[in-house]
Structure 1
């Protein structure tokens, strides 16, 4: 099985070309920071919402993701108001390594029960423009990522906080048994929001900027809670009330 994505590859010289990225495996990473202490604020942020971090599993923690979750759609369907985006470095291995940016949209209600389950519950949104990593390897650490929710700045972080792309690939191959030689996609984790609290909203926007050149790539999407379309009195609870987790 594979997932195909139409993208634009933009070179450092400004030239661009259309391409088709094929993904046969996808992975999301957690706590993928160079300094473990950098991830602590985000861990505390999610802990306030009752989300358990598996600290007994070495970081970065790896979450295999079903391919249908990868999207560039303008709308993301969810089934609870407790969802939020996370701006992340996105790596795609094809004929060479490409870097981009995306949003690992996450169901925070389900995340209190299962982080792997929550990663499958929402889409992984990706901007359809990528840069060849080899062309910017030396300037990579200068790049900055930002996200906004409902027009409010939500995240603002330099990529230098995260493990370098080539090291991510090496770690992935060491820890996962069937990483293909090519045609796989990796979302590389996130850190704390600007106000150190999970944000919720309908309109999400994110970008990556290379300050030295002024280049930017990014995208946006709108969250649609489809459960609210069912009339009151006919909605099945998101959590089974018999389990004591009605929401």
Structure 2
């Protein structure tokens, strides 16, 4: 018999429509990252080409949006993440939190691009999912959702800038996850996929920042973190390779 999911409590703050702040704990039981979750399949091609340039092979035989289950221990809101290599990068994403109602956040699916060449699933699990600690209620943005916008920077350089209307609406995302997984009800968090960078190429750096802007209510959700390659603490000549055959 399958064991029940043991929830992990995370603390968030809901930004109300009038600007008031409401502390809101969230009991997380399941987390999924989505890929190619765009309304128009052609809109996902540029990002697919972007990662293909780095040697990543997407499982096109699996219908989009592709679903990557991620261990809930990999979630953080810390201002620093530790990684094992220099070729890791963030991606701005809409984040859905399913609880007594639907909440919206912003975060980053940080990914090891070298590991991604061999396994997209393991590359995502090898780095944290980062989420900002403030949320909106879906009901507060639902009517003007398509006017909201996602953006990100790497070391202050503009990296991504895209309207949320490129992506499947949150309610459709929930339908897809319900159709394709056994996860149901409260306790689920979904990172909803990303979009190509403004240059069409992956970029790397030591500081990643992302935001979700609502021009109608004049507010933003933000997340940001420093990226620290902890292997650099080991002197050259004594570093264990990240992958077999690496020099």
TM-score normalised by length of structure 2: 0.96
Of residues 110, 116, 126, the one that matches 2:115 is 110
Q: Distance in 2 between the 1:208 and 1:50 partners?
A: 29
Does 2:100 correspond to 1:73?
no
Q: Distance in 1 between the 2:45 and 2:195 partners?
A: 8
1:98-131: CA deviation from partner (whole Å, max 9, x where unpaired): 0110010000000000000001000000000110
Q: Distance in 2 between the 1:36 and 1:173 partners?
A: 20
Q: Distance in 1 between the 2:108 and 2:226 partners?
A: 12
Q: Distance in 1 between the 2:70 and 2:29 partners?
A: 11
Which sections of structure 1, spanning at least 5 residues, go unmatched? none
Aligned to 2:186, the other structure's residue is in SS state coil
Does 2:63 correspond to 1:58?
yes
Aligned to 1:139, the other structure's residue is in SS state helix
Of residues 125, 131, 138, the one that matches 2:136 is 131
Q: Distance in 1 between the 2:32 and 2:8 partners?
A: 13
Does 2:188 correspond to 1:184?
yes
Which sections of structure 2, spanning at least 5 residues, go unmatched? 1-5
Query: In the TM superposition, what is the alpha-carbon distance from 1:172 to its structure 2 partner?
Result: 0.2
| 1:200 alignment partner in structure 2 | 204
Query: In the TM superposition, what is the alpha-carbon distance from 1:13 to its structure 2 partner?
Result: 2.0
For residues 100-179 of structure 1, what are the structure 2 equivalents within 5 Å?
A: 100-177=105-182, 179=183
Does 2:234 correspond to 1:230?
yes
Query: In the TM superposition, what is the alpha-carbon distance from 1:77 to its structure 2 partner?
Result: 0.6
Of residues 225, 231, 236, the one that matches 1:221 is 225
The alignment of Structure 1 onto Structure 2 pairs a total of residues equal to 242
CA contact (8 A) 1:25 1:180 kept: no
Q: Distance in 2 between the 1:152 and 1:103 partners?
A: 16
Q: Distance in 2 between the 1:3 and 1:125 partners?
A: 15
Does 2:91 correspond to 1:86?
yes
TM-score normalised by length of structure 1: 0.96
Q: Distance in 1 between the 2:201 and 2:18 partners?
A: 39
Q: Distance in 1 between the 2:111 and 2:46 partners?
A: 18
Q: Distance in 1 between the 2:8 and 2:198 partners?
A: 34
Aligned to 2:184, the other structure's residue is in SS state coil
